[in-house]
Structure 1
Amino acid sequence: MIIVAGALHVDPAERDAYLSGCRRVIELARSAPGCLDFVLAADPVDAGRINVYERWESDAHLEAFRGGGPDAGQAAAIRDAHVSRYRIDAVEPA
C-alpha cells in the first residue's frame, strides 16, 4: 500500500478557489483503479494550507492515475509543498 501525505501552501485568499478547482481531480482519483482514498482539504488552523492524503493499492496504480501532476495554473498557485510517499507493509486496527 502507498500513502501520499503532506501539505500544499497557497495564498490564503486563493485557497478556496484552488480547492474548488481540484474537485474534479478528487472525483477522478476516487474512481480510479487502485485508489483507496484521496482528499485535498483546507487546514482548519492555517488559512494557506491544504492537507493532502492519498491511499493507493500500489505504485503502479498511483502512477497510472497521476500522469503529469497539477496543471500549470494549479502549479503556479502553490507557494510551497511538503508531500511524501510512504510504503506501508502492514495495517492494523487503531
Structure 2
Amino acid sequence: MLIIAGWLRVSPQGRDAYVAECVPIVEAAHRADGCLDFAITADSVRPDRVNVYERWESDELLHRFRDSGPEGAQQDRILAAEVHKYRISGVEAP
C-alpha cells in the first residue's frame, strides 16, 4: 500500500478556488482502480496551505492515474510543495 501525503502552498486569496477546482480530480481518483482514499483540502489554520492525502493499492495503479496530473494554469498557481510517497508494510488499529 502507498500513501501520498503533504502540502501545497498557494496564494491565500486563491486557495479556496484552487481547492474547488480540484473537485473533479478528487472525483476521478475516487473512481480510479486502486484508489483507497484521496483528498485535497484547505488547511483549517494556514490560509495559503492545501493538504494532500492519497492512499493507493500499488505503484502501477497510482501511476495509471498520475498520468493525468495537474496541468498548466493549475500547476502554475502552486508556490511551493512538499508531498512524499510512503510505502506501508503493515496496517494496524491505532
Q: Does the residue aligned with 1:37 lie in a helix, a strand or coil?
A: strand
Partner secondary structure for residue 22 of structure 2: helix
Q: Does 1:47 align with 2:47?
A: yes
Opposite residue 41 of structure 1, the aligned amino acid is T
Tell me the percent identity. Answer: 50
CA distance in 2, matches of 1:31, 1:93: 26
Match of 1:66 in 2: 66
TM-score by length of 2: 0.98
Amino acid of the structure 1 residue aligned with 2:79: R
Structure 2: gaps spanning 5 or more residues: none
Structure 1 runs of 4+ with >6 Å offset: none
1:68, distance to aligned residue in structure 2 (A): 4.7
CA RMSD of aligned residues (A): 0.7
How many corresponding residue pairs?
94
Which runs of 5 or more residues in structure 1 are unaligned? none
AA in 2 matched with 1:88: I
Q: CA separation in 2, counterparts of 1:82 and 1:69?
A: 16
Residues 13-24 of structure 1: pairs in structure 2 closer than 5 A: 13-24=13-24
SS at match of 1:78: coil
Render the CA deviation track for 1:56-75: whole Å, top value 9, x for unaligned.
00000100001052111111
